[in-house]
Amino acid sequence: MRLRVGRGRARAELVGGGAALWAAEVEFASVGELGVAVAALLVRDDLPARPGAVRFEIEPPLAQLRTLGGLPPVRPDQLRELVATQSGRFFRRNGHPLVTDAAWTLADRRTRGPAMAAAVEEPWVETLVDGARTAGVPVLAIEPAGLPADVSLDLVPPTERRRRRAHTLVGVRRLAFAVAMVWVAAGAVYLARLSHERAAVEREIAGLATPVAAVQRARRALGATAGIVETLERERAARGAVLGSLAGLIAALPDSDFATALTLDATGSGEVSLVARRSSEVIAALETSAAVVSPRIAGAVMRESVAGRDRERFTIAFGGGSR
Amino acid sequence: MTPRDRRAVFLGAAVVGLAVLVLRLAPAAARAHAAARDGLAARSALLARMRADLAETKRLEDSGAVIRRRLASLAPAVLAGRSAADAGADLASHLAVAADRQGVRLTRTEPLPDSALGGGLGRVTLRATLESDGVGVVGLLRALAEADAVMVVDAVRLEVADPLVPRRRPELVRGDLTVSGWYLERGEPR
């Protein structure tokens, strides 16, 4: 709703969709009557709808609108402060404190123009705010009539500004408290979930402990049994090694040769002492047959003559090392 | 107290509270959270391993049946006795029987120290001094290699009388064997 206040007359218009839906006008003789008139306008029975908020426009001479040149180039808030503290310099006073506001205009898109300032006696705006509060309609703005479109001035009285600031602060505090509570709740939910998961895991661990211990005992027993089987099978496979080496050695030696001593172990290493016609022939025979690994003469080869035959007495080592 | 003073007190208290929150409470909470999370992860990992163990039950049963059958078939391969002394006596007995059947004379048997272990089995080792001819020695080695009980000849040392020296007696082989066998160290495997 827009409520235009002039000298002795207030006109209310309910605007919707860009068109005026309803209008009414009242007259008043004093500041006190204005408050009652405003409250009455805002709760009229013939209103098509209850207004969501009201915007006051104050016409001259109640509102004083000035274009101020020659002011220092200060920030907008500093400009407001400057005009407020020197309101007597820019506006006439009739013994009442003034509510002021000021803003910079734009000469063009980039250049700052002169300042525009407005003032209204505080009792008038206080009365407007009281009237709106009596009617239960929030005040959207209080601005002087005839403002250019690119300038916005708000003549809300200090009490209303404090009330709005306090209201905003309360809102911010409530929001902050709500956010903090949300975080606390989220943390609590997270901790509860963590605790619940831990408890569930512990329950399951406790439930599985006995069967798992049995499985682990069975696995250890199985491992020991497998070790026994493996050892016996390995030994069974290896137990013919010496016999095999001996058989291979006997088969490889020429029939005319005589063995006088033999040492042999399960790794295939050992020595054999021989009396033969030629040691080289025996080495060749052993290498050809592959009965033993890396046969070699160990020590000296002694030549003898037995019954008119030449013989050699020698020792052959084989396998990993000589003894 | 003026509003300015109240604002200063409030701001100071807020800064102190924020500092306590950021420097003390938040790190402590982060540490506690990390510990709780790590603890949960560790317990979850343990639970996963336990589940995996349980899932192995069927495989363990199958493996156990196979191994038990193999062990049963290998039962005669183990020497009798639950101690090294008993097993050594059994090994000596097996050796004596085999030697007797092959016409080999054992002049002496002595146990050798042996501390080898293998999957619940203990090993005993004997050294036997023998006299025979070549055929007897080979027969004894063959008999040991083919016996039900697993007896492993670890080493053999043989000496034959010099063949170039004329003699009246038949060929004589002297020497010794080192033989080992296995026994159940802790009784029957379970």
DSSP letter string over B14-45?
A: HHHHHHHIIIIIHHHHHHHHHHHHHHHHHHHH
Query: Can you tell me the distance from the alpha carbon of B16 to that of B7, in angstroms, rounded to the nearest whole number?
Result: 14
Q: Collect all residues of chain B within an 8 Å Cβ-Cβ radius of residue A258.
A: 160, 163-164
Output the CATH code of domain A241-318. Answer: 3.30.1360
Query: Can you tell me the distance from the alpha carbon of A165 to that of A288, in angstroms, rounded to the nearest whole number?
Result: 112
How confident is the model over A236-292, as pLDDT tens digits? Answer: 888 888 888 888 888 888 877 888 899 998 888 999 999 888 888 888 888 888 778
Please tell me whether the interface predicted TM-score (ipTM) of this complex is above 0.90.
no
How confident is the model over A190-236, as pLDDT tens digits? Answer: 989 999 999 999 999 999 999 999 988 888 888 888 888 888 888 88
Residues 6+ apart with CB under 8 A from A5: A34, A38, A56, A57, A58, A59, A62, A124, A128
Sheet of A2-6: strands edge to edge? Answer: A19-27, A9-16, A2-6, A54-58, A139-144
Model pLDDT, residue A316: 93
**C-alpha distances in Å from residue B29, one per residue of A62, A187, B33, B174:** 62, 11, 6, 85
> Where in chain A do CATH 3.30.420.380 domains reside?
2-156
Q: Tell me the pTM.
A: 0.55
How confident is the model over B113-130, as pLDDT tens digits? Answer: 988 887 678 899 999 999
Q: Collect all residues of chain B within an 8 Å Cβ-Cβ radius of residue A229.
A: 67, 70-71, 74, 119
Neighbours of A57 (CB within 10 A): 19
CB–CB of B141 and A201 under 8 A?
no
| Out of A14-18, A81-85, A295-299, B90-94, least confident range | A14-18
Indicate if the alpha-carbon torsion angle B70, B72, B77, B82 is positive or negative: positive
Q: Which residues pair with A68 in a beta bridge?
A: A115
> Where in chain A do CATH 3.30.1360 domains reside?
241-318
A142, with CB counted inside 10 A (0-12, 13-18, 19+), is buried
- Is the CB of residue A27 less than 8 Å away from at least one CB of chain B? no
| DSSP secondary structure letter of residue B172 | -
- Is the CB of residue A167 less than 8 Å away from at least one CB of chain B? no
CB–CB of A263 and B142 under 8 A?
no
CATH entry, A2-156, from 3.40.718.10, 1.20.1440.230, 3.30.420.380, 3.30.460.80:
3.30.420.380
Q: Collect all residues of chain B within an 8 Å Cβ-Cβ radius of residue A304.
A: 164
